[in-house]
Chain A
């Protein structure tokens, strides 16, 4: 029984050696010395001892451990030692001071002490188990933490990727928006340039159309001055020829009418030109389509004539006198007609180039009032179109003209103006090498 305390101490040392090193200087040395002293005491007690030395040593060590804050973690291990120490000391004291009482109850004392020892061992085993469980738990938590760290890192990486992708997408979106804006601007420019191109085709025609009335205005003014001189001369005669004076006055009146007529003619051409270059108001107004078709036919014809002096074509107009006025956007429809005429003249020119003298170019325009609206037909006996071309002519940017000569927007814009702008239809009939006929139908509003 006396050696149990040494057993306990050795276990304690072993436990301390295996557990974490406390922050005490020379701890390993202290532990070594404690072992050595315990060994020496054990030898002494094993020979012939009373067990008091072991208990005393144990009490000293326990006291030291309790007073050292660095060994606080060790206290739960020390607590079960206290009842053992107390009972053992009680046993020794009883043996010395009341030997009779001790002898009578020796067995009880020994059982109690042994039970305390068992309790120490059981508590320690329990502690050990708990510690192991804690270690397992700690390890688990550590693993979890590591896993969490990995997850967090992955999350960070993912967030970074998402951010990167988002930025990329945003940049792409902005780029697309810019591109769209560019495209819109380009489209507007193209429409404007198509308008200007057709205006360019008109300019020569306009110059010719204005020059003629201006010549008349000038000539009739000049000749009127001559007439007035003649009148004065006649008046100063002794016997003025009244018939001649009357003739001269009649001529003068007629001339002034002519001057006014040709002045108005030039005026309407200039107005038409301004109207063509202006942005469409989109306003529908009552329009004489016969006059509109006639005006643009002449303009287109003279425009082409001015560019190609050798060109000539027979112009045939078949205007329905009962056509009446139609509610249309005059500028827009004027552009459609101009475009159709320009194309018609182009087609007959090309055919003339190919066939030469035998071919007689002809461009005709016909208007007709119908039960459900108004029809305008523009026909030429030019090159016509093969089916493959016919199918594409209303597509934007489709052109059969050489590069730089056509924008490919004329017919596509015309189609939009007739269908979207007026709720009408624009049809084409053609035979390759023979003729082309465009039919505009504007429904009665």
Chain B
């Protein structure tokens, strides 16, 4: 399963690669990384229908996670990827907005990786 992680923090890449080292080694999961909303849109345009799941931070300079979500939903009406939004703890308003824009799930920072793993497994096996 190919997953695109969008976050303006570069170290997210290292973190995900270590957290999911077994899954990556087994070939279960494959991660791409974009460090801004703009970069993510370019990537998605260059690799259409390749990514099944998108994990995106909301709070980013430039195109925010919510705008990115809106774009994704507009551009991919036929094969909609699963989109999970990530933002800071206790942000009710963004939660509501993300869901109304068509987010499939909502994750709060700091990320609970074991819970994320369970969710990914559910999507992967289901």
List A residues at the B interface (Cβ < 8 Å). 208, 211-212, 214-216, 218-220, 222-223, 226-227, 251, 254-255, 258, 262, 301-302, 305, 309-310, 312-315
Given contacts A309-B91, A309-B93, contact A251 B64 (CB under 8 A): no
When the two chains form their complex, are residues B59 and A305 in contact, meaning their CB atoms are under 8 A apart? yes
Instruction: Tell me the smallest distance from the CB of B89 to a CB of chain A, in Å.
Output: 8
CA distance A313 to B64 in the complex (A): 9
Interfacial residues of chain B within 4-24, with CB under 8 A of chain A in the complex:
9, 11, 14-15, 18-19
Instruction: Tell me the smallest distance from the CB of B52 to a CB of chain A, in Å.
Output: 24
When the two chains form their complex, are residues B19 and A312 in contact, meaning their CB atoms are under 8 A apart? no
Instruction: Tell me the smallest distance from the CB of A412 to a CB of chain B, in Å.
Output: 30
When the two chains form their complex, are residues A309 and B88 in contact, meaning their CB atoms are under 8 A apart? no
When the two chains form their complex, are residues B109 and A313 in contact, meaning their CB atoms are under 8 A apart? no
Given contacts A312-B67, A315-B61, contact A208 B15 (CB under 8 A): no
CA distance A222 to B61 in the complex (A): 28
Given contacts A211-B88, A211-B109, A309-B97, contact A255 B18 (CB under 8 A): yes
- A312-B67, A315-B61 known; 19 new pairs, CB 8 Å cut-off, are A208-B88, A211-B88, A211-B109, A215-B109, A216-B15, A219-B113, A220-B18, A222-B113, A223-B15, A223-B18, A227-B18, A254-B14, A258-B11, A309-B93, A309-B97, A312-B64, A313-B61, A314-B61, A314-B62
Give me the 4 closest cross-chain CB pairs, A-B, nearest first.
A215-B110, A223-B18, A312-B64, A315-B61
Instruction: Tell me the smallest distance from the CB of A298 to a CB of chain B, in Å.
Output: 9
> Can you list 12 A-B pairs with a CB-CB distance of less than 8 A?
A214-B110, A215-B111, A216-B11, A219-B19, A219-B110, A219-B113, A223-B19, A227-B18, A254-B14, A310-B66, A312-B62, A312-B63
Instruction: Tell me the smallest distance from the CB of B62 to a CB of chain A, in Å.
Output: 5
Chain A residues near B94: list those with CB within 8 A.
309
Instruction: Tell me the smallest distance from the CB of A421 to a CB of chain B, in Å.
Output: 31
Instruction: Tell me the smallest distance from the CB of B117 to a CB of chain A, in Å.
Output: 12
CA distance A184 to B11 in the complex (A): 50
CA distance A212 to B9 in the complex (A): 8
Interfacial residues of chain B within 67-96, with CB under 8 A of chain A in the complex:
67, 88-89, 91, 93-94
Chain B residues near A220: list those with CB within 8 A.
15, 18
Chain B residues near A208: list those with CB within 8 A.
59, 88
When the two chains form their complex, are residues A219 and B15 in contact, meaning their CB atoms are under 8 A apart? yes
Closest A residue to B61 by CB, please name it. A315
Closest B residue to A255 by CB, please name it. B18
Chain B residues near A255: list those with CB within 8 A.
14, 18
The total of Cβ contacts below 8 Å across the A-B interface reads 57
CA distance A222 to B67 in the complex (A): 32
Chain A residues near B61: list those with CB within 8 A.
301, 312-315
Chain A residues near B9: list those with CB within 8 A.
212, 216
CA distance A223 to B116 in the complex (A): 14
Chain B residues near A212: list those with CB within 8 A.
9, 109
Instruction: Tell me the smallest distance from the CB of A212 to a CB of chain B, in Å.
Output: 6
CA distance A58 to B58 in the complex (A): 142
CA distance A312 to B63 in the complex (A): 7
Chain B residues near A258: list those with CB within 8 A.
11, 14
CA distance A261 to B35 in the complex (A): 19
Chain A residues near B15: list those with CB within 8 A.
216, 219-220, 223
CA distance A313 to B18 in the complex (A): 32
When the two chains form their complex, are residues A262 and B64 in contact, meaning their CB atoms are under 8 A apart? no
Chain B residues near A223: list those with CB within 8 A.
15, 18-19
Chain A residues near B67: list those with CB within 8 A.
312
Closest B residue to A254 by CB, please name it. B14
CA distance A161 to B9 in the complex (A): 80
Instruction: Tell me the smallest distance from the CB of B123 to a CB of chain A, in Å.
Output: 22
Interfacial residues of chain B within 24-75, with CB under 8 A of chain A in the complex:
58-59, 61-64, 66-67
Chain B residues near A215: list those with CB within 8 A.
109-111
CA distance A212 to B59 in the complex (A): 11
Given contacts A212-B9, A312-B61, contact A219 B111 (CB under 8 A): yes
CA distance A309 to B110 in the complex (A): 19
Chain A residues near B110: list those with CB within 8 A.
211, 214-215, 218-219
Instruction: Tell me the smallest distance from the CB of A355 to a CB of chain B, in Å.
Output: 16
CA distance A215 to B93 in the complex (A): 22
CA distance A305 to B61 in the complex (A): 9
CA distance A258 to B58 in the complex (A): 23
CA distance A262 to B66 in the complex (A): 26
Instruction: Tell me the smallest distance from the CB of A309 to a CB of chain B, in Å.
Output: 5
CA distance A301 to B8 in the complex (A): 14
CA distance A227 to B64 in the complex (A): 33
Instruction: Tell me the smallest distance from the CB of A315 to a CB of chain B, in Å.
Output: 5
Instruction: Tell me the smallest distance from the CB of B3 to a CB of chain A, in Å.
Output: 17
CA distance A313 to B14 in the complex (A): 27
CA distance A313 to B37 in the complex (A): 12
CA distance A309 to B88 in the complex (A): 11
CA distance A302 to B59 in the complex (A): 8
Closest A residue to B60 by CB, please name it. A312
Instruction: Tell me the smallest distance from the CB of A215 to a CB of chain B, in Å.
Output: 4
CA distance A203 to B112 in the complex (A): 25
Instruction: Tell me the smallest distance from the CB of B96 to a CB of chain A, in Å.
Output: 10
